[in-house]
Amino acid sequence: MKQLVILSGKGGTGKTSIAAAFAHLLSLDGVPLRAVFADADVDASNLELVLAPRIIIREAFRGGLYAEINWEICTGCGLCKEVCRFDAINARSMPKFHQQMSHHYPESGMSGVQIQNLPLVDPIACDGCAACYYQCPEGAITMQDQIVGEWCRSESRYGPLFHAVLHPAQENSGKLVTLVKQQARLLAMDENYDLVLVDGPPGIGCPVIAASSGADLALIVAEPTTAGVHDMYRVLETANHFNIQTLVCINKADIYPASAAEIEAFCRERGIQVVGKIPFDLAVTEAMVQGQPVTLYAPSSPSSQALREIWSKVGAILQTEGM
């Protein structure tokens, strides 16, 4: 069983559109691969929009511990504020801070000065480190968890899809990504699938690291623009740092041919295979509007042709012995 992750560095290079095309292509006759899909971009999970999934399991995701201070017990010693390194206690820029304060004021009968000294935790800024919890001499602090998202197992047109939504403003440390990916892997092992295909997030930080962990192969979708090339170098370095074999494909390849040539030259120097170039093609967006992969919606379009060639190479590499 192999694991392929699709990455980019820069956002919007076409990862999800390509992942959807691959999902469609591997379901066709002549391609002997069965796959489980994982959408690891939990901030912006778009793969479901083009794979027509039917949700069969939906689970809440708890996480994002934050500190809560019990004002009945709190003596206002201020130690929690001193130890907090995340500006999460009494940060004045916190919205609704004054609202909460003035709400408490008439009930408690405390003076204005006393109210100002009471510590108030901003749950969004709170890192969940629990330093304040352990340091509070009165035991006035508890760590609360909350539902910060949900994950789903769906049946899509081409196989099982695991995806998730992280609620806005929540911490994306990669835990939800790990969970989605791990669920996909376990199902794939249980039911003898050949492949876990992970649609990765943009960037190079923990969501990307979590999405790539354990991958046999990373396909980097490069955009031939000055910005895109810049970010491609960084994500390539990241994949290298974690010892993951990489392939590159160039999307919207005709926007800036000099840049595409730069990418090809760079890859040649490093011995990285460029598996194909996809021209800019409005059919991709038209397919998206119809909720379909472009290879299904417009099979004779230039992008579909390029994608078929790319997939046949990627599929062959995945099935190589010792890969």
Task: State which of positions 127-186 bind other proteins (CB under 8 A).
Answer: 127-131, 134-135, 166-175, 178-179, 182-183, 185-186
Q: H or E segment at 247?
A: strand 245-251
Q: How far is the CB of 140 from other proteins (least distance, A)?
A: 17
Q: Check binding of 43 to other proteins (CB under 8 A).
A: yes
Q: What is the CA radius of gyration of the chain?
A: 24
Distance CA 282, CA 267 (A): 27
Residues 12-31 that bind other proteins (CB under 8 A): 12-13, 16
* DSSP state letters, 59-112: EEEEEEEEEEE-TTT-----HHHHH-SSS-BS-TT-TTHHHHHHHHHHHHT--H
- Selected binder of other proteins within 53, 119, 160, 202 (CB under 8 A): 202
Q: Tell me whether residue 47 or residue 306 sits nearer to other proteins (CB atom).
A: 47
Residues 6+ apart with CB under 8 A from 279: 252, 253, 254, 302, 303, 306
Q: How far is the CB of 114 from other proteins (least distance, A)?
A: 25
Residues 298-317 that bind other proteins (CB under 8 A): none
Distance CA 116, CA 119 (A): 8
Q: Check binding of 241 to other proteins (CB under 8 A).
A: yes
Q: Check binding of 266 to other proteins (CB under 8 A).
A: no
Query: Which span (32-40, 41-49, 101-109, 156-164) binds other proteins, by CB under 8 A?
Result: 41-49
Query: Which span (69-77, 106-114, 279-287, 300-308) binds other proteins, by CB under 8 A?
Result: 279-287
Q: Tell me whether residue 231 or residue 264 sits nearer to other proteins (CB atom).
A: 231
- Residue closest to 266 by CA, chosen among 224, 306, 227: 224
Residues 70-109 that bind other proteins (CB under 8 A): 83, 85-86, 93, 95-96
